[in-house]
Structure 1
Amino acid sequence: MQQIFDFKALVKYRDRAAQRLGTVTPVLEELTDRLLDRLDDTTSRFSTALDFGGRGVLAPMLKARGISVDSADFSALLAAKAGGTPLPLPGPADFKLTQARYDLIVAPLSLHGLDDLPGALIQFRRALKPEGLLLASLPVLGTLHELRLNLLETEETLTGKVSPRISPFPELRDCAGLLQRAGFTHPVADIEELEFLYANPLALLHELRDAGEGNALCARSRAIPPRALFPAALAAMPRKEGRMVARLRMAVLTGWAS
């Protein structure tokens, strides 16, 4: 399998985020609320849950529903601060999850840095009890599309070459198929489209950093970028009401273990 993401860099960014999450907590809470709305669409009752990468927001919400929570993260620091029983994960290939332990697994925007997404979904299915529910969200194609293009065009203008700075995202139409391939029943993938407005365009980059969303691509440039790169790319972003617009296309995935 082709290696797209640098796992050590991903962990490093998430370790740093453990000290900065307070600045992005309101955004994470809104996005997690939208994900957990799907729990209200089912009559099932859940008692044991795995919080996969919830960054201190998800576990308290699940516990408020009377659910016992294990908080898993590749960053031991984030796992310890997540709010559930800490469960540091050893690596991306094998999460070492106990089979048939949980009746609910929730993964809020925490899967898009994995090379083997189908393999991760299979591990989740095995960790679920029969009739258990997987609820996950991830950015899909179209997320930060304008920023991706602006960075490529600006860097080429400034240096004559380009390097990837935003992760590749799957297409929405592929997400339900991934669940089905992993053995989930009644797979559903729908879309939430959100716009974020910034008076200070650099605040977008600061929020991505504080959430642990640094550039962990293996093919990323290690060179210091030109000083003009980010200001020029952000200046070309779309505007609304005098503010810069950044778009998130968030797929919400639900699937049941048989």
Structure 2
Amino acid sequence: MSGPVDVFDPRALAARRRRALALGPETFLLDRAVEDLLDRLGAVKRRFGTVADLGTPTDALRAALDGAGMVDRYFAFGPAERADVDAVVDPEILPFAPQSLDLVVSALALQTVNDLPGALAQIRRALRPDGLLLAGFLGSGTLQELREAFAIAESDTLGGISPRVAPFADLRDLGGLLQRAGFALPVTDVDRVVVRYGNPLALLNDLRRMGAANPLTDRRRAPLLRRTLARLFEVYTERFSDPDGRLRATFEIAWVSGWAPHESQQKPLRPGSAKMRLAEALKVPEGRLPGGDGEAQ
């Protein structure tokens, strides 16, 4: 029996990264993610010993962490296209020894891992007790306008649609994956960024310079037809333009964090262990809730 088909094509991903370097990378979204990651890590108020950066496309995170003095030993693991990696790794097969890391960070890289549950499980095993994972992914709402415009344009000009925009992970799914991988105190939230463009071509050019053009295994291999591209521009302009004529493009950065379990971490109370009744805490008569006639259960 054959295994599941990979959603993302590793060769296409590498080719997209090489083209982005040749064109000159567009880093505004990555810069935002790195700044946000630094702020989130600063709120932890802890210095970390051994840190692994998994797949971040540039050295921006290394520079930020070194400048903030938050870590002792930083190692970059990622694709060969990143010049400063300490080791080239396949994100599906991580080289980390069990309980060898205090912190794993990643900015805008893990959304194209085919076996994300497996990668999270490997990261969890690599963390020492009370070690932290902090990562930002492209979330499911990313490029929702482009996805819709492509679907209409292809349907109108080709009589069908093909995968054009990657199916990024939903925030609720990411929380469940953290729990399945064995992380304690999992937290997820999303940073939604709306960027405005003069025309759809400017958006497509930015995506190429981000290395974010279509990397799907099931993508249409034939070149995009002129009539399809023209219809795409029409639909995008009709549906997603602001009053001033500029076009909206949504990016979501889905943030996840989770800790390797440790006895010092806060734990939920056992059922029935409360020392005060709800009515007593709210200072209301037993069996009544403030502001209504419903009974407290």
Higher relative contact order (CA 8 A, sep 6+): 1
Offset at 1:231?
4.2
Aligned to 1:69: 74
Question: Could you tell me how far apart the structure 2 residues matched to 1:142 and 1:27 are?
Answer: 15
Letter in 1 for 2:151: L
Offset at 1:169?
1.8
- Structure 1 runs (4+) deviating above 3 angstroms are 18-22
CA offsets 1:200-222 (integer angstroms, 9 cap, x no match): 43121112111111211111111
Letter in 2 for 1:208: L
Aligned to 2:34: 32
Give the secondary structure class of the aligned counterpart of 1:48: strand
1:20–1:36 CA distance, 2 compared to 1 (3 A): farther
Question: Could you tell me how far apart the structure 2 residues matched to 1:231 and 1:39 are?
Answer: 45
1:183–1:71 CA distance, 2 compared to 1 (3 A): same
Give the secondary structure class of the aligned counterpart of 1:15: helix
Offset at 1:55?
1.9
CA offsets 1:118-159 (integer angstroms, 9 cap, x no match): 111111112222211111111222221121011011012112
Aligned to 2:96: 97
Instruction: Note if contact 1:100-1:129 (Cα within 8 Å) is conserved in structure 2.
Output: yes
1:21–1:124 CA distance, 2 compared to 1 (3 A): farther
Letter in 2 for 1:163: S
2:248 is the counterpart of 1:249: no
Give the secondary structure class of the aligned counterpart of 1:251: strand
Aligned to 2:17: 14
Question: Could you tell me how far apart the structure 1 residues matched to 2:205 and 2:121 are?
Answer: 34
2:59 is the counterpart of 1:60: no
- Unaligned segments of structure 2, at least 5 residues: 262-297
Instruction: Note if contact 1:100-1:127 (Cα within 8 Å) is conserved in structure 2.
Output: yes
Instruction: Note if contact 1:141-1:169 (Cα within 8 Å) is conserved in structure 2.
Output: yes
Aligned to 1:159: 158
Question: Could you tell me how far apart the structure 2 residues matched to 1:62 and 1:231 are?
Answer: 44
CA offsets 1:64-120 (integer angstroms, 9 cap, x no match): 1222321111x2121x24xxx52211x343122233232111111111112211111
Question: Could you tell me how far apart the structure 2 residues matched to 1:106 and 1:247 are?
Answer: 24
Q: Percent identity?
A: 39
TM-score scaled by length of structure 1: 0.90
Aligned length: 251
User: Is 8-17 or 210-219 further displaced after alignment?
Assistant: 8-17
Instruction: Note if contact 1:143-1:248 (Cα within 8 Å) is conserved in structure 2.
Output: yes
Letter in 1 for 2:74: V
Give the secondary structure class of the aligned counterpart of 2:51: strand
Offset at 1:21?
4.7
Aligned to 1:224: 223
Give the secondary structure class of the aligned counterpart of 2:97: coil
Cα RMSD of the aligned pairs, angstroms, is: 1.8
Question: Could you tell me how far apart the structure 1 residues matched to 2:102 and 2:162 are?
Answer: 42
Larger Cα-atom Rg: 2
